[in-house]
Amino acid sequence: MNGLRVIPSRRHGQDRLYVCLRDGRNIAWYDRETGRVNLLSEDRREAVLDVLGPFLTGTVTVGPPPVPTPAELARLTLPPDDDLAPNRPGEALLIAFDRDPGPSRRLRPDPRRRALTAEQTVGEALDRLEGAGWRTLHSIPLPGGDRIHHLVIGPGGLFCVRALYARKQRVLVADPMVTVGRRGPSPLLRQSRADAARASYALTAEVHPVLALVGPSDVDVMAPLREARVLRDTDLAELAHSGGLLKPADVEALHTMARDRHTWLRV
């Protein structure tokens, strides 16, 4: 027995196995996604590989941890209270419900419930793009009480996504107005473009507006849209089909900038 322990951990989307001494200190970790064993001490190489043996699959590389990129260093120094990455889809609405759940009985459904359903549905669809090299942030607070529902960063660029509940209703799009069912028209495309413009200013990069419709029965777009897209929640995977604009290092750098709450204080 070499006295080493293997402890599984999953943080920030990374599935790792840490090798620890009896006193709890880490001396190595195995990153399943990259197939790499990172050694903090070459002297314990054989002992680490021996204890990790039952868990290793496929081709594995062994060596010291890679030098962190500037984006990784910035992420490591970001205070938890300023980090927007842990935000859940609909985070602001979830907090609002905690503070004011509203009456237990209502004659009409609370509109916040539908808005939350929309943001959670869209957020879950966008989170599934992560395996294709995309990163998503949810419920980004802006000055004045506004917020960006979702920001997606990936090889195909940056997209600011606003979620709209439209379950089993017909949606009519007459730029910039959007009509859902029997409700009156609302300038939602103008709002989506304003969100994207503020994000573009904050990140000094081009950001494209997207309106995501959750569960519509039919969508009728009267004319080609100007610098905006309207997608059903089931079609959001189309965003991952575009690529060639951003390199992985650029995606990580923009994501690191966007997850910092201070980035959004002056937009």
63-122 pLDDT, tens per residue?
A: 887 766 777 777 777 888 999 999 999 999 999 988 888 776 666 778 899 999 999 999
pLDDT band at 46 (very low <50, low <70, confident <90, very high): very high
- 159 and 84, same domain (yes or no): yes
What pLDDT is attached to residue 32?
A: 85
* CA angle, residues 136, 231, 174, in degrees to nearest 5: 130
Tell me which of 47, 66, 85 is where a domain ends: 66
Phi, psi (deg, nearest 5) at residue 219:
-130, 125
What pLDDT is attached to residue 15?
A: 77
- Closest of 34, 31, 30 to residue 20, by C-alpha: 30
What pLDDT is attached to residue 213?
A: 98
> Counting beta carbons within 10 angstroms of the beta carbon of residue 70, is it exposed (0 to 12), middle (13 to 18) or buried (19 or more)?
exposed
pTM, two decimal places: 0.75
| Span of 56-70, 85-99, 128-142, 175-189 with lowest mean pLDDT | 56-70
Does the bond joining 224 to the residue before it have cis omega, within 30 degrees of 0? no
- 59 and 158, same domain (yes or no): no
- 49 and 94, same domain (yes or no): no
| Tokens describing residue 134 | 């995309």
What pLDDT is attached to residue 255?
A: 94
Collapsing DSSP to helix, strand or coil, 154 comes out as: strand
Q: Is the pLDDT of residue 9 over 60?
A: yes
- 56 and 160, same domain (yes or no): no
What pLDDT is attached to residue 2?
A: 67
- 58 and 86, same domain (yes or no): no
pLDDT tens, position by position, 205-251: 999 999 999 999 999 999 999 889 999 999 999 998 877 788 888 99
- 256 and 196, same domain (yes or no): yes
Q: Is the pLDDT of residue 13 over 90?
A: no
Q: What's the one-letter identity of residue 238?
A: E
DSSP string, 175-212: TTEEEETTSPPB-HHHHHHHHHHHHHHHHTS-EEEEEE
- 85 and 192, same domain (yes or no): yes
What pLDDT is attached to residue 97?
A: 87
Sheet holding 26-31, edge to edge: 5-11, 14-20, 26-31, 36-39, 61-63
What pLDDT is attached to residue 98?
A: 87
- 135 and 83, same domain (yes or no): yes
What pLDDT is attached to residue 11?
A: 57
- 84 and 128, same domain (yes or no): yes
Residue 97 sits in which domain range? 71-264
- 36 and 163, same domain (yes or no): no
What pLDDT is attached to residue 3?
A: 80
211: left (phi over 0), alpha (psi -120 to 50) or beta: beta
Half-sphere exposure of 249 (CA within 13 A, CB side): 4
- 201 and 252, same domain (yes or no): yes
Q: Is the pLDDT of residue 189 over 70?
A: yes
What pLDDT is attached to residue 188?
A: 97
* Mean pLDDT rounded to a whole number for the chain: 90
Number of folded domains that form the chain: 2
- 102 and 172, same domain (yes or no): yes
pLDDT tens, position by position, 161-173: 999 999 999 999 9
Is residue 150 a contact partner of residue 136, using CB atoms and an 8 Å limit? yes
Q: Is the pLDDT of residue 148 over 90?
A: yes
